[in-house]
Copies of this chain bind each other. A is one copy, B any other.
Amino acid sequence: MAAMAATAARPDRVVSLREIVADIPDGSHLALAGFAITRNAVAFAHELIRAGTRGLTVTQVFGGFETDLLAAAGAMDCLTYASGSIDRFGLLYAVNRAVLDGSLALSEYSGLALALRLHAGALGLPFVTTRSMLGSDLVAPLVATGQAAEIESPFDGAPCLALPPLHPDIAVVHVDVADRAGNAMVGGPVWSIPETARASRMVDLVAEEIVEVGELDPSRITIPGLLVHAVARVPHGGHPTAVYGHYDFDAAHLRQYAAASNAGGDALDAYLDRFVRGVATFDEYLEEVAP
C-alpha cells in the first residue's frame, strides 16, 4: 500500500454544454436560478430548445427571460414559481399566455415560501413552516394539491403554513467562475441560487470562466463542487441578461424579445428561428446579436 502526498485527488467535472443538455431527459424536473433580467442560463436554455427537450417541469423562485424562452419554445408543461418578469421590459408573456390557454400548469407561491421549500429540500427537513401566504388566495390551490397544509404550532397553537421539501431533478445555474471540480462563485446578490442548487438531486453549472482547483477563495464559494455534477464554460452565456461584474443586460435585445413574446405567434417563432433554432451554437447567436 503506497502512501500519497498530502495533495488532493480532485475530480474534473468540466464538460461541454451539449453534454449537459444530452443528460436531461424529456419530462425532467429542472430548477432554474436566473432572476428577471439578471444571470439567466440563456446559453443552456438555447441548447435545450435546440435539443428538442420537452415536457419539462420547471421550478424557479423568480422567473425571467430564460423561463419565458422555454415557454415560448413549448418545452415546459409545469411551472412552479413565486413571480416572473423581465423587469421594466415586460412580463413573461409566453408563460402567461400558456397558463391562460391551459398548456402550462402553474403552481404559485410567495418568494419566501418557495425559497423555504427549496431550503427544506436542501437540508432534508421533514417540512418547513411559515406565516407567509396565510389568508391569501395562494394557499387553497397548494393545499388541494398536497403542496401545503394549514397546521398549528405544537408550542403555542399559532396557525401556520407547513410546506413540504422540494427536490428538483437537476438545477442549472449560471455562475461567474468555477474551478474544474465545480466549486463555483457567484458575485453580487445570490437571491435563491444557494437553496435552488442544494435542493436538487443534481447540479449543472454554466460558467463564464473555469480555473484550476485552488485558485478560488474557499470563503467565496457559493456552490461547493461536491454537489456539482458537471460544469461547462460559456463566456457571455447569460446574454441578453446581465451577469454582475461581467456584463450588463442588452436593453435593445430584451426590448426586441419582449415585443416578440408579447405578440406571440409568428413574431415569436421568427425570434426563435433566428436567434435559437437557426444557430448551431451560442457563439453563433452572439455573432448574430452583435456581429
Contact = CB atoms under 8 A, between A and B. Distances in A.
A129 B127 contact: yes
A51 interface: no
Nearest to A164: B155
Contacts of A130: 125-126
Determine the interface band of chain A, counting residues with CB < 8 A from chain B.
20 to 34
A188 interface: yes
A214 interface: no
Interface string A148-173: 01010111001010101000000000
A154 B127 contact: yes
A164 B154 CA distance: 9
A254 interface: no
A127 B158 CA distance: 10
A287 to B, nearest CB: 32
Interface of A: 124-131, 146, 149, 151, 153-155, 158, 160, 162, 164, 187-188, 219-220
6 contacts: A125-B128, A126-B129, A127-B160, A149-B154, A154-B162, A220-B220
